[in-house]
Amino acid sequence: MLRTRRVAVAAVLCVLGLLGGCAAQTPVSDPTPSPRTATPTPTPTPVDPAVAAVAEMSTAEQAASVVMGHIPTTDPTALAEYMAAGYGGFILMGANIPATQDELRGVTRALATDAALPPLIAIDQEGGVVSRLPWDDFASPRELQSLPVADTRTAFEQRAALVADIGANVNFGIVADVPVDSSSFISSRALGTDPDSAADRVAAAVMGEKGEVASTIKHFPGHGAAPGDSHHGIPSTALTLAQWRSADALPFEAGIDAGAELLMFGHLAYTSVDAAPASLSSRWHEIARADLGFDGVMVTDDLGMLSASGVEAYRDPAANAVTALVAGNDLVLMVAGSTADTAPQMVEAIVRAVDDGTLSPERLRDAAERVMALRLALAERG
């Protein structure tokens, strides 16, 4: 069989005049010149749209694109003027919610100053205790804790449709924390009461939101083990990385595997891993990327909470934004105490940090590209 195949190959090569052992033939003069073989045109390397868009931005524009700001108003003119600065996102809070859904659509239309590239318009629509939309009467996290897992998917399908209908495209609504007991401030907001049940329901919630809004899982690496409320301080725990990996990590891993587009970092410290709050910790960002495989947008919890924590080092939200970006966040969120001047101050601080070498241009560009990629994906989704 092998000899037969070799003979066949040799015959083909002989016909093509490529085998040196073929019988010589007298050359025949051909008055028609042989056409020259055209040099193949190389296929151009596809250009990533997000990379291309960010490459056209100035440092200040990149800095603005990684800020998710907030001002407490429903005035469409004021909102449009605010977003004209090029911020990457806006979070809807209670002060942005008018009386009717139609009026709220007017708010979100004003925020989307560029229809081809809408900002990330986010909302904390967990249901139950944390619910910005009074029209959300779907099952709350507290109720879902004792219902079949399928009910969580259904509730978040309905919730995501409600969020999308009013013009928001990001839900900061999936709590992956595992409460240590029922007295925890996060207990009524969590989807599960133990790591396994929480993991199942977090994955179901992400799947329920898929195709409607971008899902966010929070508050990484988890409030459960750290007692205290991060709205009033910086909760801490001595839990080791190995202990975290076997328990509190499971719901986050499940949400990431299910396709969550954003991961929100909490203002809480696992002191055996890093003394700094996770939101400002490069080590926790490395863990999320390398160990859990998260490749989406990393966003801080409200930096205004850090400013109000009572820790002097975190009093300045603009400085917190720079530290958060250096640590690995792609989007810096500011709510508590935010005025029309706060986001511009954050942008200025980010630009100064690039100029003085505190924040590398590459880190800012990477953050801007990740945010841009999500915005483009949501724009394409419509």
- Catalytic residue annotation: 231, 301
Retrieve residue 48's tokens. 């990533």
Retrieve residue 208's tokens. 């329920």
Query: The tokens 């996770």 sit on which residue?
Result: 278
Give dist(CA 300, CA 279) in Å, integer. 6
DSSP SS3 for 198: helix
Contact 69, 89 (CB under 8 A): yes
| Residues recorded for the chain | 382
Contact 169, 262 (CB under 8 A): no
Retrieve residue 111's tokens. 């925020």
Of 114, 66, 28, 17, which Cα lies nearest the Cα of 346?
Answer: 66
Alpha-carbon distances of 178 from 159, 290, 333, 345, rounded to whole Å: 22, 22, 23, 36
Give dist(CA 173, CA 169) in Å, integer. 12
Contact 62, 44 (CB under 8 A): no
Give dist(CA 325, CA 299) in Å, integer. 9
